Amino acid sequence: MSTTVTTARGPVRGERRADGSLRFLGIPYAQPPVGDLRFAAPVPPEPWAEPLDATAYGPTAQRRPFAEVTTIPEPSVPGAGVLNLNVFTPRADPTAALPVLVWIHGGGYVAGSAASPWYDGAAFNRDGVILVSVGYRLGIEGFLHLEDAPDNRGVRDWIAALEWVRDNIAAFGGDPAKVTVAGQSAGGGAVQTLLAVPAAKGLFRGALSVSGAVPQPDGPEAARAAARLLTSRTGVPATVAALRDLSDDEILDLQDRLAAPGPDREGLPPMLALAPFADGELIPRPALEALTTGEAGADVPLMLGFTEHEFTMFPAPGPDGPPLPVLLGGLGLDPARADAVTRAYGADGPERVFGQALTDATFRAPNLAVADARAARERPTWLYEFTWRSPVTGLAFHCLDLPFAFDLLDAEGVRAVAGDTPPRELADALHRAWVSFVTHQDPGPDWPRYTTEGRVTKIWDEHPRTAEDPLSPVRALWLT
């Protein structure tokens, strides 16, 4: 059964699901970024009169499979109109004033898909929350510095989507004053970036950063280094004129060559070379710096955390590869910490030492630093670590927590990574905490705020619990 809702630009026709909830898929929040708009800031869509069919996912910016890191099914949908979003709502009642969760997908800022079955909003709808999932420009089109184009186009896409939510979500039953922005991996980094963007202030009241990843180093120098590297490796100038008319495949080929390892990457972060960066205008300061030493997000409740073994599945190079001190240096870490890292993680086997160091450097230490800094300033913060180990891998790895948080244990691909009987108690508790945070800006009475006195941290395991400062070894290893 179809249902039509009128947005500021025109009517959209969605579908009613078997449980009575509604979904509206592929709604454009900006014009297709093609032609003169390919590297421009997002432009609102032209109005339309006839109901827009919103019963199938819209085009995605992802054009190739991205299986190196993620275990999430990430469909690639062809088409130009990638600046679209999906709305899952319990009821399209303009008087309902329901809380809203805006979801920004991960994928290292170069991949990922808002059309993933892992991001279905059915369980949130069941519990009285609207879910909006957002597509945005990726890789070169979203984040490469070009002298003749606005920087951080992907960030501008996030802001445009949040502005669409502000202006339209009431028609779908939502309250624009009750928006929480959330995301995982690059999406978690997007959340932290948005906290540091003045133009995003007031577009959301809460923030939920899941395994948030932000680039380091971060700034115009690194962005210009990426642009120079693209040109030196490919011969293609980092300009709109040179890139605008290239095909998707040609752009992705350039992107692959930019991402390849090599000795000419000096000045670039070891990961996330195409990512949001502090351009001095839209993003005044690096996100991590703004969150740990500045006023960014001071009045916004923040729930953040990570899995115990995010990237631990990635082994170090073989015996002929670089030694651990060199590998740590490549991550921007002090090579002198190699012995301490080996002592801390060597019991898990030498093949996991580098992967755990990568996990710490990319996720655990930076997010712990944010939590500690916010706690020192008495800002509302809740910290967690997801430690439940999949029986498939024996690890609590990157992305494993999402089917539990979305309460989608039966979704496509979940059993392949979480086994045949993932713990229901964990899914119930984790999903309930998310719903409570989105609804009340507090995850519930069994999870106290993170403070300097106890540093109470939620441990998401088969039987969830809290613990006092369980991450002190991480702090001692990386932050002191």
133: its two tokens: 């999932």
Active site residue 74: no
Distances (CA, A) of 363 to 62, 189, 248, 291, 476: 24, 10, 31, 15, 15
Q: Cα separation of 456 and 450, whole Å? A: 5
Closest CA to 191 of 76, 66, 301: 301
406: its two tokens: 């979305």
Q: Cα separation of 68 and 76, whole Å? A: 16
Q: Cα separation of 73 and 121, whole Å? A: 16
Q: Which of 145, 309, 398, 431 is catalytic?
A: 398
Q: Are strands 302-307 and 456-460 parallel, antiparallel or unpaired?
A: unpaired
Q: Which of 185, 209, 308, 431 is catalytic?
A: 185
Q: Cα separation of 81 and 77, whole Å? A: 10
Active site residue 185: yes
Q: Which of 209, 310, 385, 431 is catalytic?
A: 310
Closest CA to 412 of 72, 126, 66, 123: 72
Q: Cα separation of 115 and 442, whole Å? A: 28
Active site residue 468: no
Question: What burial letters (b/e) apply to 350-381, b meaning 16+ CB within 10 Å?
Answer: eebbbbbbbbbbbbbbbbbbbbbbbbeeebbb
Q: Cα separation of 292 and 287, whole Å? A: 9
Active site residues: 185, 310, 398
